[in-house]
Chain A
Amino acid sequence: MAEFRTCPDTGFQIDLAADKLIKWNAVTAVVFLLIGGVFGLAVALTRWPAVHLLAADNFYLALTAHGFDVLLVWMIFFEMALLYFTSSVLLKTRLALPKLAWVQYILMIVGALMTNVAVLRGDSSVMFTSYVPMTAAPDFYIGIILFAVGALLGCVVFFATLYIAKRDKTYEGSIPLVTFGAMTAAIIAVFTVLSGAVILIPTLFYSMGYVGSIDALMYRVVWWGMGHASQQVNVAAQIACWYAIAAILFNASPLSEKVSRTAFLFYILFLQLASAHHLLVDPGLSSEWKIFNTSYALYLAVLGSMIHGLTVPGAVEAALRKKGYTKGLFEWLRKAPWGNPVFSGFALSLVLFGFLGGITGVMMGTEQLNIISHNTMYVPGHFHGTVVVGSTLAFMALSYWLVPTLWQKELMFPRLAKWQPYLFGLGMGLASVFMMGAGTLGVPRRHWDMSFADAAMVHEFPAAAFMMMSLAGMAGMIGGLGGLIYILNMVGTVFFGKAKQPAKPVPETPNIGGAATTYGNAGTMAVPGTFVLALVFLTAFVLYYFVNWKYLSSVWGLS
């Protein structure tokens, strides 16, 4: 029989098994953020031309480890914690199949360690993408496969928990929007893991010599079915975090359940072969295929993100206007709690994800525009705008609430926490911008030496390209410092934090309860401030998009 404790802050009934699993997954996530982050710092210091820290072999090793540990291990461990939280805790039910959930944890950690060992040994520096015919040692793939199977089991536990909550009627009506978002992530995760299985199992046999050859293009199509879809998982999870934070801080309800849920559904329905984004300049695929898939069928998944981009801040604006911050367009924004890392992390994540990650992703995901950005530094610039200042920062922001609440401890360094989202968000945001700048000048990604000191023939990059890479390195250091402060704070809080003073007596309804808005034209507050901000975003988007067409039109003719 499952045992529960009552959270003194929120009144939630928390299943002890779920409690433990959420904590273990979250702490493990943070540990891998540290490992991957340190590799990231080494990579940044090597690509900073004046520093050029690592030797070539160690650089490619560190880059492989960096990609795997942060893009996959940190993100997915944290998402496992989110899945258990949004199902068991938010639906006030026990976690289904806790033993299976432990299998999830063990498989994922064994897999993560195995792949790390393979990479650190030095014979598997194949980058996160491990494009055939290049091969890594077999345990590199076995580790990833175990990790993925673990993640799949986590999704099974999540769906089973939704099922028993429904069966036991632990909630009325529909599941909360945040849980709905997490469900979107879990559904896409299943697709992701299956794609991964289809390609990585044959590749494992290929690396062991049991399979003669694997077609390079087929590998790329299927591998990116995993690689890109997993980013869609991150986006869905990150947006679920945004809605959760808006609710936790401001009692915000979505402006419209219907709109927000439909926008989540767009991610599932139009995921298509998102792998097309990575294959736009590949031989052997037709333009029709590329255009349809890269646009996720007429950009409807992009539309989904644009909708969230309005409805998330809109929900915050509506809630704050309800509280009386009604002056002008932006009083609600000026009076928002900018010193609270939960809020500042959330706000920066929202803005930076849209401007840095979103716009640039659509630009280089355009069939022809990909010609001027494919495999340049523009690509890491883009995804540091999505997965770092978007998803990672959103997860950090939520954990400033989640960790003290779950562990019932005070934050170890509240003053540092106040600054951390700015340090991390702006540092990484700038690093992302400078990387994109370097990419626009043609600097290649995954490249040890842009001065070509050992090469028979040399390309001379303009001084601006070297400057961009130096600035990216410096900004990366600032962001990295922000990341380290976050980890320090989380680890410190969990292990050495002061116990929280018993909060005010548990209220009848959770004290974060009570909707601030009702739906429909009559009840919903208008959100003019958010709308103006959204128009600013759209204007930037349109201008930037066409600037790049102009740039494309200036290069050599290709037909």
Chain B
Amino acid sequence: MSIFPPKERIWWNEPIEKSEVLWITLGLVWALVMFFMMPYWHMTGKQNLSNEAYKIRPEVFAERTQAFAEKYTVREEGDTGIPVVHPPVGSDIYMMGSTWEWWPVLELEKDQSYRLHLSSADLQHGFSLLPENINLQVLPGYDMVLTITPTSSGEFSVVCNEFCGIGHHTMVGKIHVVEK
């Protein structure tokens, strides 16, 4: 009985019941399947993170984002004062989180790839691209680089989903994807 010492002193030599052996085998096989799914998806899947990241001082990232926006701004997003940036296909694009906005607004072309740089100017933020539901952690001091390929067009929101202070729930950015 489980709340008393084992009845047999030498319990480790006892044979294991058949259904247990079968279950452990099934469990082990399933564990291996799940394990190898991850490297398998790296080889065949289209949704993998890049592993490319750099340490960067927040002010340097802010400068780069600023320069990027100045170069490719096409208009303003409504009356928000935030620039909408339409970068060349395949180029390096930047989005910076700070309390409490995502800056700038991006305009991308459908089915084209871009090298997206993500970082934070201050606290930790969460990049949640909706309604796609792609979620990434954004850390100050780290420039995360990944190639994104929008496969659908329309207006997408970037909602912050890492708590970043009292204005956290107002932190929303936008990505527009246009058909070429």
**Interface residues of B, count at CB 8 A:** 94
A337 within 8 A of B: no
Q: State the Cβ distance, A472 to closest chain B Cβ, in Å.
A: 17
Interface residues in B129-173 by Cβ distance below 8 A to A read 129-144, 146-152, 157, 159-166, 168-173
Question: Which B residues are CB-close (under 8 A) to A172?
Answer: 5, 9
The answer to whether A173 touches B9, judged by C-beta atoms less than 8 angstroms apart, is yes
A282:B126 contact, CB within 8 angstroms? no
Chain B binding surface SS class: mixed
Is the CB–CB distance between B46 and A558 below 8 Å? Answer: yes
The answer on a CB contact under 8 Å between A376 and B34 is no
The count of residues in chain A whose C-beta lies closer than 8 Å to any C-beta of chain B is 115
Contact with A along B6-21 (1 / 0, CB 8 A): 1111011011111110
Q: Which residues of B contact A512 (CB under 8 A)?
A: 1, 3
A501 in contact (CB, < 8 A): no
* Residues of chain A lying within 8 A (CB to CB) of residue B128: 375-376, 442, 444
Q: Are A374 and B20 in contact (CB under 8 A)?
A: no
A514 to B4, CA, bound (A): 9
**CA–CA, A462 to B131, complex, Å?**
9
* Chain A residues positioned under 8 Å from B135 (CB to CB): 281, 370-376
Give the chain A neighbours of B28 by CB distance below 8 A.
303
Interface string of A441-462 (1 = CB under 8 A from B): 1101111111010111111011
CB distance B11 to A257 under 8 Å? yes
A15 vs B18: C-alpha distance when bound (angstroms): 41
- Given contact pairs A60-B163, A557-B46, A558-B148, A258 touches B170 in the complex (Cβ within 8 A): no
A216 and B122 CA atoms in complex are apart in Å by: 11
For residue A177, which residues in chain B have a CB less than 8 angstroms away from its CB? 2-3, 6
CA distance A413 to B143 in the complex (A): 58
Asked whether A256 lies within 8 Å of B14 as measured between CB atoms, the reply is yes
Is the beta-carbon distance between A442 and B5 smaller than 8 angstroms? no
Kindly state the separation between the CA atoms of A243 and B151 in the bound complex, as whole angstroms: 51
Give the contact stretch, choosing among B47-55, B66-74, B89-97. Answer: B47-55
Given contacts A56-B169, A259-B16, A134 and B123 within 8 Å (CB-CB): yes
1/0 per residue A293-310: CB within 8 Å of B?
A: 001001110110011001
Would you give the shortest CB distance from A511 to chain B, in whole angstroms? Answer: 12
> Which among B20, B101, B130 has the highest number of chain A CB atoms within 10 Å?
B20
**A442 touching B3 by the CB < 8 A rule?**
no
Q: Which residues of A contact B134 (CB under 8 A)?
A: 371-372, 555-556, 558
A556→B148 contact, CB < 8 A:
yes
Asked if A298 contacts B35 (CB within 8 A), the reply is: yes
List of B residues within 8 angstroms of A519 by Cβ: 8, 11, 14-15
CA of A284 to CA of B143 in the docked complex: distance in angstroms?
A: 9
- Could you say which of A217, A244, A300, A541 contacts B2, with CB atoms under 8 Å apart? A244
In the complex with contacts A244-B2, A282-B137, A256-B16 CB distance below 8 A: yes
Residue in B17, B34, B146, B148 whose Cβ sees the most chain A Cβ within 10 Å: B17
Q: Does A515 contact B (CB under 8 A)?
A: yes
Find out whether the CB atom of A446 lies under 8 angstroms from the CB atom of B16: no
Query: Cβ of B38 < 8 Å from any Cβ of A?
Result: yes
Binds B, one of A247-255, A346-354, A482-490: A247-255
Contact flags A366-389 to B (C-beta < 8 A → 1, else 0): 111011111110000000000000
Interface residue ranges, A against B (CB under 8 Å): 56-57, 60, 90, 125-127, 131-134, 171-178, 215-217, 220, 243-244, 246-248, 251-259, 279, 281-284, 286-287, 291, 295, 298-300, 302-303, 306-307, 310-311, 314-315, 362, 366-368, 370-376, 440-442, 444-450, 452, 454-459, 461-462, 512-516, 518-521, 524, 526-528, 530-531, 534, 538, 541-542, 545, 549, 552-553, 555-559
6 contacts between A and B (CB under 8 A): A60-B163, A216-B141, A311-B20, A368-B47, A456-B101, A549-B41
Please name the 6 residue pairs, one residue from A and one from B, whose CB atoms are nearest each other, closest first: A283-B144, A459-B157, A557-B149, A444-B161, A299-B31, A283-B53
Besides A258-B11, A458-B157, A558-B49, 14 other A-B contacts (C-beta < 8 A): A133-B123, A174-B6, A283-B139, A286-B51, A299-B32, A302-B34, A306-B23, A310-B19, A374-B136, A442-B159, A457-B77, A457-B157, A457-B172, A559-B46
